[in-house]
Amino acid sequence: MQVIRDNLARVRERVAAAAERAGRKPSEILLVGVSKYVSAALSAELVAAGCIDLGENRPQQLCEKAAADEVAPLNVRWHMIGHLQRNKVARTVPLVSMIHSVDSPRLLKAIDQTASELGKCQPVLLEVNCSGDAEKHGFTESEVRDFVPQLSEFSSVEVRGLMTMAAGSRDLTTAAANFATLRNLRDELGTLAPAGVEIADLSMGMTADFEVAIAEGATIIRVGSALWEGVV
């Protein structure tokens, strides 16, 4: 437990320092603790340490952890951060605070339909492939430009912003360029979005590059391994 608390404190210190360097406030940046690496019991320890936003890559694991005895009683805000197939939407939407990985109009339509049936307005982010990596999911820049003006057709989702992953090279200069692309695209899409749709959030940055992401305007970072050092 103390190791997890110490890890969380160090990550928050790094966030605060990166924000200060960028002339930003740490309160502008939401830390999502990626719990895919660990058990439900360890996930519960992270929540007890003060990180109530947890991210999972796979719907099955998210469902299992959310229902686990150690986690179910806790006030957890679940984030779906990995690829979501349409046939997993119905079991995912009831559980999540936000879906970061909406990568197609068909997926958004499925989420919208399920949320409508539940009487819920589901916050989501549109995933954009800013790196051009063929192995990564997401809209291309041109696809998301074409799609955003159509968002008024979806009444039970709230598109809050964009998400991306940096190129797999782990080169921080490349990561910064990918993140800057997303920030500039966010600013451009603000002029294309229908009335009432505010594309503001930028979910970008993981353990290896979240400080660079903060410098480029990230409002949400997804950190995993830095929180679990010495634990797994």
Q: Tens digit of pLDDT for each residue in 150-176? A: 999 999 999 999 999 999 877 999 999
Assign 200 to helix, strand or coil. Answer: coil
Nearest-10 crossing angle of helices 2-21, 40-49: 60
Query: Would residue 232 count as lying in a domain?
Result: no
pTM reported for the whole predicted model: 0.97
Tell me how many domains the chain contains.
Answer: 1
Query: Would residue 193 count as lying in a domain?
Result: yes
Q: Return the structure tokens found at 225.
A: 């391994």
Distance CA 61, CA 58 (A): 5
Q: What is the CATH number of the domain that holds 45?
A: 3.20.20.10
Domain that holds residue 191: 2-227
pLDDT bucket at 135, cuts 50 / 70 / 90? confident
Q: Return the structure tokens found at 74.
A: 């806790």
| Main-chain phi, psi angles of 53, to 5 degrees | -100, 115
The greatest distance separating any two alpha carbons of the chain, rounded to the nearest whole angstrom, comes to: 48
pLDDT bucket at 89, cuts 50 / 70 / 90? very high
Average pLDDT score over the chain:
96
User: Which residue carries 């294309």 as its tokens?
Assistant: 192
User: Which residue carries 């349409």 as its tokens?
Assistant: 86
